[in-house]
Amino acid sequence: MGPDRTAAILTLEKASRSNPGPWVDHSRYVAQACGCIASRCGGMCAERAYVLGLLHDIGRYARVSSERHLIDGYRLCVERGWEKAAQICISHAFMIQDIETSIGTFDVSREDYLFMERFVDVTIRYGVHPSTVDRRKKTLELKAYFEHKIGCSIYTLLPGVIENSFR
Ligand SMILES: [Fe+2]
């Protein structure tokens, strides 16, 4: 059983007290975006998407960190039995399933790095191509996928984005 909205909000508030920062509002905006997009996609639960969005960066409760927040979040959610949230915490930096395409710093132990590596298939190597380009391409593919499902631009559903970015 995953967390409900109240549990997710309380967990985020507690995390915000232990390590305040812009990541907390970022999490709230991501949650709204996830909820808005999911509500327009057939077969997706907007409430669940909202809750999972709220928790995706929850590992930042522990400290200011880079990729370490992925595994810190994973562990927090596993402890609570929140399996899907745990999966999203550890995987959300890898839109390409190759750990080496991460653009963050692996501020984790060797053991933790190997643990995280198991979550991303190291099947494709990008050689000299900077991962940033592939990540951007993959992100645009995901955007196109959801825009096809919802039948409009994703930006029209993201709170504040049109006002803040296109005007
Ligand atoms: Fe993150």
Q: For the chain, give every domain's residue range.
A: 5-160
133 CA distance to ligand 1 middle (Å): 19
70 CA distance to ligand 1 middle (Å): 7
113 CA distance to ligand 1 middle (Å): 16
- pLDDT at residue number 32: 95
pTM of the predicted structure, to 2 decimals: 0.81
Q: Which helix (H) or strand (E) holds 153?
A: none
For residue 89, give Cα distances in angstroms to 53, 114, 115, 165. Answer: 10, 16, 14, 27
123 CA distance to ligand 1 middle (Å): 23
Residue 131: CB partners within 8 Å, gap ≥ 6? 96, 98, 100, 101, 102, 103
* Between 44 and 102, residue with greater pLDDT: 44
89 CA distance to ligand 1 middle (Å): 7
Give the range among 25-34, 126-135, 140-149, 153-162 with minimum mean pLDDT: 126-135
Give residue 113's identity as a one-letter amino acid code: Y
Neighbours of ion ligand 1 (CB under 5 A): 57
For residue 6, how far is the Cα from the chain centroid?
19
- pLDDT at residue number 165: 60
* Between 8 and 100, residue with greater pLDDT: 8
First and final C-alpha spacing in the chain: 42
pLDDT at residue 66 tops 80: yes
The token duo for 167 is 């005007």
- pLDDT at residue number 119: 67
The single residue listed with the structure tokens 């522990």 is: 62
147 CA distance to ligand 1 middle (Å): 23
- pLDDT at residue number 93: 83
153 CA distance to ligand 1 middle (Å): 24
- pLDDT at residue number 113: 86
* Mean pLDDT of all residues in 103-126: 71
* Mean pLDDT of all residues in 32-57: 96
CA 60 – CA 76 distance, rounded (Å): 10
94 CA distance to ligand 1 middle (Å): 10
Question: Binning pLDDT at 50, 70 and 90, where does residue 96 land?
Answer: confident
Q: Over the chain, what is the mean pLDDT?
A: 86
* Mean pLDDT of all residues in 57-67: 94
- pLDDT at residue number 132: 63
Q: What percent of the chain has pLDDT over 70?
A: 87
84 CA distance to ligand 1 middle (Å): 15
162 CA distance to ligand 1 middle (Å): 23
- pLDDT at residue number 130: 54
58 CA distance to ligand 1 middle (Å): 8
